[in-house]
Amino acid sequence: MMPYSQLVVTIVIAFFITLVLGPIVIPLLHRLKVGQSIRDEGPKSHMTKSGTPTMGGLIMIAAIAITTLTSGTINKDLYVILFATIAFGLIGFIDDFIKVVLRRNLGLKAHQKLIGQIIVAVIIALYQSKVSVTGTKILIPFVQGANKYLDLGMLYVPFIAFVVVATANGVNLTDGLDGLAAGVTLIVSSFFSLVAMHWGYPSIAVFCGALTGACLGFLRFNAHPARVFMGDTGSMALGGAVATIAILMNLTLFIPIVGGIYFAETLSVMMQVASFKLTGKRIFKMSPLHHHFELSGWKETKVVVVFWSVTLLLCIIGLFGLN
């Protein structure tokens, strides 16, 4: 088992790298005038955030990469997670660049973004299907004994690819309030780091520690009132990282549990769109879900703290679901 001290050191290193990079990158983003544009149909309280630099996810990606690549605990799994993080971050970066630099508000077209995500996701799924000792079987939460695995067979690759894409977009939808996505992901990555340590995945534990430290450091600049937003660059990178971490430890079905906030945010959008198209009525005041609570009278900081708390509770539940 990986010593707790090594995990703590990894978290601290990533945390301080993020703190150092923040004051360097944020002024640069200001000079490049890559300010976030706020949707007119969004909550009116968000209009004051217009012009806040975005693409701050570059800070976290750099901190994670530097920390993991200098950790001395490197193997194929670590390279695959880094690949997923950087690849999804690159897709988000291109989207952000088109929106805030080229001033094309819609960014990448939906099908362009989806094609890129699917390609990366399939690579991850194929890798895991070849190297996993359980092959195409996935672990079922809260089930003991011989029945704790479900063999997906030929459905394994498309299922895993779907999970990766869905998680990345779920984190992207969660990134709508100051500190929300970073805080939720910090808690989720802490859960996976503990599992990785106890299950003998030292390289994954190191990555999770770096991810935790980077998210914690980023909150210094992203907590309300945010000085920088992570943008799609950051949210896509975080989503790709979380999904790949879970998949490489065969904890794919734990993502909807510990990442319940990601799931709820995505589901709220799907329900809202379906309801409006079918009935012309909206279920929520606004989607994703965090905006519904804002428009119901909750302060932004209250929504964020409640969602963090729910994530912590879900991660505790997730621990009981481990076999």
Residue ranges in the chain assigned as alpha helix (H) = 4-31, 57-69, 76-96, 110-131, 156-174, 180-198, 202-222, 231-248, 255-258, 260-279, 289-295, 300-320
pLDDT value at 146 more than 80 = no
What local confidence, expressed as pLDDT, does residue 4 receive?
79
Mean pLDDT along residues 142-165? 93
**Lookup: tokens for 302:** 């209250």
Residues annotated in the binding site, as ranges?
Answer: 172, 232
Half-sphere exposure in the Cβ direction for 192 (13 Å, CA): 34
What local confidence, expressed as pLDDT, does residue 104 receive?
73
Half-sphere exposure in the Cβ direction for 235 (13 Å, CA): 25
**Lookup: tokens for 235:** 């949210």
**Weakest-pLDDT range from 37-46, 172-181, 285-294:** 37-46
pLDDT value at 105 more than 90 = no
Going by pLDDT thresholds of 50, 70 and 90, the confidence category of residue 244 is very high
Residues annotated in the binding site for Mg(2+), as ranges?
Answer: 172, 232
What local confidence, expressed as pLDDT, does residue 33 receive?
81
Q: What digits encode the pLDDT tens for the residues 293-314?
A: 999 999 999 999 999 999 999 9
User: Which one, of 132, 107, 116, lies nearest residue 232 by Cα?
Assistant: 107
pLDDT value at 40 more than 60 = no
Question: Cα angle at 156 between 129 and 131, to 5 degrees?
Answer: 5
**Lookup: tokens for 126:** 């194929």
pLDDT value at 287 more than 90 = yes
pLDDT value at 106 more than 90 = no
Mean pLDDT along residues 163-185? 97
Q: Cis peptide before 225, with omega less than 30 degrees from 0?
A: yes
What local confidence, expressed as pLDDT, does residue 133 receive?
83
Which has more confidence, 288 or 30?
288
Task: Give the separation between CA 250 and CA 132, rounded to whole angstroms.
Answer: 8
Task: Give the separation between CA 277 and CA 257, rounded to whole angstroms.
Answer: 29
Going by pLDDT thresholds of 50, 70 and 90, the confidence category of residue 34 is confident
Rounded mean pLDDT of the chain? 92
What local confidence, expressed as pLDDT, does residue 221 receive?
97
